[in-house]
Chain A
Amino acid sequence: DAKTTQPPSMDCAEGRAANLPCNHSTISGNEYVYWYRQIHSQGPQYIIHGLKNNETNEMASLIITEDRKSSTLILPHATLRDTAVYYCIVRVASFTGGGNKLTFGTGTQLKVEL
């Protein structure tokens, strides 16, 4: 799986958009970008994933650059409950269980403040 680089921490004011960057310059053509977050003392939560098109769901938007070497997770209106460590993971999507193990980096600690 390709390695990712994320800033260790970011702050965001409540109600504003939180833009979390991720660099994955060695990504391969068949690798997807996945985002998970981990609220303190809980298991990780799936947020979104994409291959090359931008994606949006009820939680967030994922913007992937045209060369696919970086991406940005956008939380459009951050709340205090979005305070968590956000992990960007690049891997081949697989429908077979063995291919779905995840390699977690250090992630970005997002702190949403009043």
Chain B
Amino acid sequence: GAVVSQHPSRVICKSGTSVKIECRSLDFQATTMFWYRQFPKQSLMLMATSNEGSKATYEQGVEKDKFLINHASLTLSTLTVTSAHPEDSSFYICSANEVTLTEAFFGQGTRLTVV
């Protein structure tokens, strides 16, 4: 299957700082990528849809000014958590689709801990 890579896999940051997470499609082009968040013992919750060359679409309740998404190329989307607080500590996961396939492929996830 198609490969999606996330970086970093783990990050610890101080409260008030910003953290950038990268999501890359390694062997295909993805016009759309998705960002999910998962709290402990809970399911994945979709945060936003990242569209190459245009603004991201955010799900209800997700602050677009706090979670900045940039999808500047067909193989890279970034999620920046701005002014992070301990309650933003979570597992962030991206997914992308290869245009000829209907199944989504996921990155390995990024564990964010805000201290």
Contact B32 A44 (CB under 8 A): no
Partner-contacting stretch, out of A19-27, A62-70, A101-109: A101-109
Inside 8 A of A105's CB, which chain B residues have their CB? 43
Knowing A100-B32, A103-B46, the reply to whether A42 touches B102 (Cβ < 8 A) is: no
Beyond A42-B109, A44-B44, A104-B44, whether A98 also contacts B95 by CB under 8 A is no
Mark contacts of B25-49 with chain A using CB atoms, 8 A cut-off: 1 yes-contact digit, 0 otherwise. Answer: 0000011111010000001111001
| Total interface residues in chain B, CB < 8 Å | 33
**Do B109 and A97 touch across chains, with their CB atoms under 8 A apart?**
no
Main secondary structure of the interface of B (DSSP, over half): strand
State the Cβ distance, B100 to closest chain A Cβ, in Å.
7
Interface check B51, CB cutoff 8 A: yes
Q: Does B93 contact A (CB under 8 A)?
A: yes
Q: What distance in Å separates the Cβ of A87 from its nearest Cβ neighbour in chain B?
A: 8
Task: Flag whether B13 is at the interface (Cβ < 8 A).
Answer: no
Count of chain A residues with a beta carbon within 8 Å of a chain B beta carbon: 26
Fill in one digit per residue for B97-115: 1 if any A CB lies within 8 Å of its CB, else 0: 1011111111111010000
Q: Given A34-B103, A46-B103, decide whether A101 and B111 contact each other with a Cβ distance below 8 A.
A: no
Nearest chain-A residue to B6 (Cβ)?
A43
With both chains docked as a complex, state the minimum distance between the C-beta of A41 and any C-beta of chain B, in angstroms.
Answer: 7
A97–B97 touching, CB < 8 Å: yes
In-complex Cβ contact of A43 among B32, B102, B109 (8 A):
B109
Chain A residues close to B by CB (< 8 Å): 32, 34, 36, 38, 41-46, 49, 87, 93-98, 100-107
Jot down 9 A-B pairs with beta carbons below 8 A, ordered by A.
A43-B6, A44-B93, A44-B106, A95-B99, A97-B99, A98-B32, A101-B104, A104-B36, A107-B43
Interface residues of B, Cβ cutoff 8 Å to A: 1, 4, 6, 30-34, 36, 43-46, 49, 51, 91, 93-97, 99-109, 111
